[in-house]
Structure 1
Amino acid sequence: MNTHRTALTRSGAAALAAAALTLSACSSSDSAAAAQDLEPAAEAQTLTGACPDEVVVQLQWQPQSDMGGMFAMLGPGYTVDTENKSVTGPLVADGKDTGVDLTLRAGGPAIGFQSVASQMYVDDDVTLGLVHGDQLIAAAASQPVVGVTPLLAYSPAIIMWDPENHPDWESVADIGGSGATVVVSKEQIFPRWLVAKGLLEQGQIDTSYDGAPSRFVADPSIAQQGFANSEPYTYESETQAWGKPVAYDLIKDSGFDIYASNVSVRADKVDALAPCLEKLVPIIQQSSAEYISAPEATNEVIVDVVSQDLSYSPYSEGQAAYSAELLREKGLVADEDGSVGTYDLERVAGTVADLAPILRESGSAIPEDITADELFTNRFTDPSIGIG
């Protein structure tokens, strides 16, 4: 097995998000010793007996900072497995050992670009998966999952453009009125929504986007999908062939109002996992709040994990820092009431009512009687947790 191991040691018993970290190589026995040195969590945060011994989380892509709440729970002594595209370590709450392990598995190319929901049904070892709100609704057709807490209150998805070529564009509606080509990946749902709402024309949509910057660089007359916490930084600072700002509009500002990176459970496992979720979900909420308030230590972990697997796209400290700051600055983590990791059930009901007919028109067999509370729940969340 082509496996690298990295130990993350902590100075004192402070929380991971605020700790000073030192990264160094170690053996598996050293990793185990590091984990054993952790102070035990309080009873309310002890997961032994309530959760599986190993909580396995299927990510939607390779490690990056919009998953920071999950990586902030990864304690010292973690092990990076380059063969299985995962990282495993003690699951910590406020830097203390909850008694179980956490495994974070990469998605996207690591699982053959399958959806997270489908992977959760293929692999029974997966406990939780990160599923964007629109994809969670789409999964209700045949592989239903339930969102138990969102890492992001709003999606950072954008349509971006070259401001030198299009100085008059300020919004998606402006792009729609221009007739310009909009390049997106074929699995995205938001372009269908934008067309259905009359903001773009179907003839403008080009579904050939493969994630590379080459098309945009070669033809800056187009508009292209991206994420506000990623492409604006990488195109200006890390794409030598471009090296200048891009302009963009957040899809959410056109009304595509989804919760993103929902921590989700298979619908048929919610009750069985309830004792675990009652303790774990508030830990995830608190971890997300602490991460976005002080992301530096966790960003070091994410960058380190990515650096050990050459199959991942490089992920720099600058990109991680930019992403975390953007998510906070644009208000994409906390909901309008300031809470982190809870659902506005009126809002999700509106999203389900809005998206389900569009998905059905595209051939998705979503049940006609599906309701928002079948897909999203505050059963396990703590509404008092927010960003200070």
Structure 2
Amino acid sequence: MSVLSLAACGGDEAPAAAAAPSAQAGGTDLAAAGCPATVVIQTDWNPEAEHGGIYQLLGPDPTIDAGSKSVSGNLVDSEGASTGVQVEIRSGGPAIGFQAVTAQMYTDDAITLGYVDTDEAIQLSDTQPTVGVLAQLDKSPQMIMWDPATHPDVKTIADLGKTDTIVRYFEGSAYMDYLVGSGVLKESQLDGGYDGTPAAFVASGGADAQQGYASAEPFIYENEVDAWGKPVEYQLIHDAGFQVYASSLSVRGDKVEELSGCLKALIPVMQQADLDYVADPAAANALIVELVTEYDTGWQYSEAVADYSAQTMAELEIVGNGTDGTHGSFDTDRLQTLIEQTTPIFTEQGTAPKAGLTPEDIATNEFLDTSIALN
């Protein structure tokens, strides 16, 4: 399979003020590379282990701002040395009124990088283009789960489609339009009323299936939902044919050029942080759980869930290498397939992608260090 090698063209905005080169920086001087004094990362949800790699970037004693739901501190490299700039990690979801990260990036010019799913990048490519620069997750953890005791013959999502089992999900999810359009599931099975809680799944007594994340719900439902308290089985949406890059670190399309020097130095630091998190997630997970408590948005997230998530993402290769063997790379063929799968869906929804959209418009491998890979 081919992989991307081209960057999207940048705009002509005046570049943001860069940090002054720092004599205190370690082996990687991001200030000298032209990075802003504070690299601002906008996440797509409350703090969670799926974001572990970016929390790995924070040096000791970060500053927690419970009001703005953000944490900041020295941006450090794999050896713990300062890179000469700060990093600020902002919570998403309720912290930004459940607004899409792309919209937030186009509202707040201070954001350097944001988490953008590649189907979102396709959908908004004509009005708010973004370019993915690091695929921290090679597979989306999104899945559909079911009760194996109630459905002993179901092993895949396609098996669910051969039954009349209700499948509960968030209305408007592109993957569900794909699953129905490709004949994997039937329209008559769908219930778009999922509210993020286990109540309906539990109330069905195992009769219904439901969306979730492989890196969270299987553990939560078995160990933390007292009314359920038993295993579920699931299949990743990725393995059912909808292979989005979830939460890929992205920049605005009109900022790629002005940030190119910074990204060339920053992205390898972030690649290595992902690897360091996989190798030893304990410190980042402890911070994630602390942040959830401090932010107090109603989101519940235990250290046990964080530990399960880190382990599961490694085991399922949700965090992994691209087809070229490099961690964080995007595959051209996979992106082209996703463009072909989603363009009719988004066009029908009234949010048609940019005419003639190509993989190079929505992602680039230009800034990756190709030698950095998970073993």
Instruction: Identify whether the pair has TM-score above 0.5, normalized to the shorter chain.
Output: yes
1:372 aligns with 2:359: yes
Q: Higher mean Cα deviation, 82-91 or 224-233?
A: 82-91
Match of 1:100 among 79, 85, 91: 85
* Per-residue deviation, 1:336: 4.2
Q: Higher mean Cα deviation, 302-311 or 163-172?
A: 302-311
The aligned counterpart of 2:25 is 40
CA distance in 1, matches of 2:324, 2:278: 16
Deviation string 1:293-339 (CA, Å, 9 cap, x unpaired) is 22122211211222222224122111111001100100111134542
Deviation string 1:241-262 (CA, Å, 9 cap, x unpaired) is 1111111111111111121211
* Per-residue deviation, 1:215: 0.7
1:349 aligns with 2:336: yes
The aligned counterpart of 1:291 is 277
The aligned counterpart of 2:170 is 185
Structure 1's unaligned 5+ residue stretches are 1-37
Cα contact 1:290–1:387 (8 A) shared by 2? no
The aligned counterpart of 1:157 is 142
CA distance in 2, matches of 1:309, 1:48: 33
- Secondary structure of residue in 2 paired with 1:152: coil
The aligned counterpart of 1:31 is none
Counting only pairs closer than 5 Å after superposition, residues 116-155 of structure 1 correspond to structure 2 as 116-155=101-140
Q: Higher mean Cα deviation, 152-161 or 126-135?
A: 126-135
The aligned counterpart of 2:17 is none
Cα gap change, 1:322 to 1:338, in 2 (>3 Å): farther
Equivalent AA in structure 2 for residue 318 of structure 1: A
* Per-residue deviation, 1:49: 5.8
Structure 2's unaligned 5+ residue stretches are 1-22
CA RMSD of aligned residues (A): 1.6
* Per-residue deviation, 1:367: 2.0
* Per-residue deviation, 1:39: 7.0
Equivalent AA in structure 2 for residue 99 of structure 1: G
Deviation string 1:101-134 (CA, Å, 9 cap, x unpaired) is 1111111111111111011111111111011121
Cα contact 1:52–1:100 (8 A) shared by 2? yes
CA distance in 1, matches of 2:216, 2:30: 35
Match of 1:282 among 268, 273, 277: 268
- Secondary structure of residue in 1 paired with 2:135: strand
Match of 2:65 among 70, 75, 81: 81
* Per-residue deviation, 1:45: 4.1
Match of 2:48 among 64, 89, 100: 64
Cα contact 2:132–2:364 (8 A) shared by 1? yes
CA distance in 2, matches of 1:244, 1:47: 51
* Per-residue deviation, 1:347: 2.1
* Per-residue deviation, 1:212: 0.7
The aligned counterpart of 2:348 is 361
Cα contact 1:293–1:387 (8 A) shared by 2? no
The aligned counterpart of 2:187 is 202
Q: Higher mean Cα deviation, 312-321 or 336-345?
A: 336-345
- Secondary structure of residue in 2 paired with 1:90: strand
CA distance in 2, matches of 1:353, 1:187: 18
Cα gap change, 1:218 to 1:331, in 2 (>3 Å): same
1:170 aligns with 2:189: no
- Secondary structure of residue in 1 paired with 2:226: coil
- Secondary structure of residue in 2 paired with 1:258: coil
CA distance in 1, matches of 2:262, 2:370: 18
Equivalent AA in structure 2 for residue 103 of structure 1: E
The aligned counterpart of 1:309 is 295
Match of 2:218 among 232, 240, 245: 232
* Per-residue deviation, 1:56: 0.9
Cα contact 2:34–2:262 (8 A) shared by 1? yes
Q: Higher mean Cα deviation, 80-89 or 290-299?
A: 290-299
* Per-residue deviation, 1:207: 1.2
- Structure ranking higher in strand proportion: 1
Equivalent AA in structure 2 for residue 164 of structure 1: A
* Per-residue deviation, 1:47: 3.1
Cα gap change, 1:284 to 1:321, in 2 (>3 Å): same
CA distance in 2, matches of 1:215, 1:351: 31
Q: Higher mean Cα deviation, 225-234 or 306-315?
A: 306-315
Q: Percent identity?
A: 43
Equivalent AA in structure 1 for residue 289 of structure 2: V
CA distance in 2, matches of 1:143, 1:187: 19
* Per-residue deviation, 1:346: 2.4
Given the two structures, how large is their TM-score scaled by the length of structure 2? 0.90
Which runs of 4 or more aligned residues in structure 1 lie more than 2 Å from their structure 2 counterparts after TM superposition?
Answer: 44-49, 335-339
Cα contact 2:33–2:265 (8 A) shared by 1? no
Equivalent AA in structure 2 for residue 228 of structure 1: A
Given the two structures, how large is their TM-score scaled by the length of structure 1? 0.87
